[in-house]
Structure 1
């Protein structure tokens, strides 16, 4: 079974080596869904949507985190994300590093994002560099740009749009391959300081429309949880977290009916700026 799953992940190589789907800035579906919230932000929210940097609290601050995920319990499909964000009163800057795969075949990327608050609107942009490596083949790199916009509809309701890989570039040995683009539209509702709901519609080039639904709940001052659903493959995901002062630890998981369970772990630090 292990060999079958790995072959499914890399089927057709090298013929489709350069025709991969675009890998989202944050690979774990349980992370990054707090982009439409001011109460459920962490470092990975800023990586998933740079416009969220403009929704930061008045005093701003510094955030940093690392997340690891093992897709379908296979070491060959490991994913690691690291991010740092620096926020001030009306703007912020983020730095993101990603790695996916194993020694024989892997994909890495580095990105820098910027977000700016314009009142009811917040604008974000992220520039990325991607590199694909496979043993026995040449490695290739390319760049991409992501754009995002968030706006506050009411005190508790926010919505936004995002384009990931807005201007696809040709790359590869013949310069005839390129990453797909991803288009997102979402909305988030903060029912209270303890409860937050979000929904996102996602369309990737040459793929069916996908919907992500999630609910966040703060059980106590130190404990919180998230549950959600990826409608594309009917895949549920969840997260259970603990936070104390500047430290936050989150255990995540998602389940695919055919390929199995994908566990993950996130550790982040929040250091609000003092007035």
Structure 2
């Protein structure tokens, strides 16, 4: 690794560690625009957050995102998901995410399944395979899993919970994989306005509080705002509905690490 790329790698590792891995785990663009409030999302976007949301898929879907994390040079942070219905009450997804540079990269492939247990309760599970590659040191890989659920408390109030890597698997002896618990609430105030709050707790970190607002300013255009307290981050974005396609854009700001723009596209039919 040449000196310039070593500096980029070292800086990136420090910044991402300081950011509590919040930008490196898979997350839809709508979730990035909402302070990581994403665990009541349903459909193909749930592949990147709460796999219980796959239970409502009616056909076929594709979602992709890319983020320029803190404008780090040569740093890639991308994700892709393909999902399909497996019946009237279930769906599956294969998804992929990657971040890093050529000399240091972590890739993840997941196989997810979501199903409806009752009219108000959906559950989901995903098997993940992580691979970390470091130039001159080789590769390490590890299997882990994540699981979650979505429950309609009332017609206008929804709760989502999710555990990633609940058993604390490590990619190597000194490099644990992210282990997070998320709990989100979504209140549908009207057909145009929804507000949400949530809790995120990572191992060895203080819990973070999430708050988000989604406003459907037009039948085809939605504005999103959010914040999370651990690490402190403010975010915003929008989505544009073009029939089967939807375009997504987001930006998040960290007080010390700076701005991270993101964009994505989804297709569902």
TM, length-normalised to structure 1: 0.84
Q: Does 1:167 align with 2:171?
A: no
- Aligned equivalent of 1:214: 212
Q: 1:196 to 1:10 in 2, by over 3 A?
A: same
Q: Secondary structure at the match of 1:219?
A: strand
| Alpha carbons 1:36, 1:198 under 8 Å: kept | no
RMSD: 2.6
Displacement of 1:105 in angstroms is: 0.9
- Structure 2, unmatched stretches of 5+, are none
- Aligned equivalent of 2:25: 24
| Alpha carbons 1:33, 1:45 under 8 Å: kept | no
- Aligned equivalent of 2:46: 45
Q: Larger relative contact order (C-alpha < 8 A, sep ≥ 6)?
A: 2
Higher strand proportion (structure 1 or 2) = 2
Aligned residues: 256
Post-superposition CA distance 1:194-214 (Å, at most 9, x none): 222222201100011112211
Q: Secondary structure at the match of 1:200?
A: strand
Q: Secondary structure at the match of 1:26?
A: coil
- Structure 1, unmatched stretches of 5+, are none
- Aligned equivalent of 2:101: 102
| Alpha carbons 1:159, 1:186 under 8 Å: kept | yes
Q: 1:157 to 1:24 in 2, by over 3 A?
A: same
| Alpha carbons 2:180, 2:202 under 8 Å: kept | yes
| Alpha carbons 1:212, 1:231 under 8 Å: kept | yes
- Aligned equivalent of 1:184: 182
Cα distance in structure 1, aligned partners of 2:152 and 2:54 = 14
| Alpha carbons 2:157, 2:188 under 8 Å: kept | yes
Cα distance in structure 1, aligned partners of 2:234 and 2:161 = 23
Cα distance in structure 2, aligned partners of 1:235 and 1:11 = 17
Q: 1:201 to 1:75 in 2, by over 3 A?
A: same
TM, length-normalised to structure 2: 0.86
Displacement of 1:109 in angstroms is: 0.6
Q: Show the 5 A alignment for 1:224-239.
A: 224-239=222-237
Displacement of 1:145 in angstroms is: 0.5
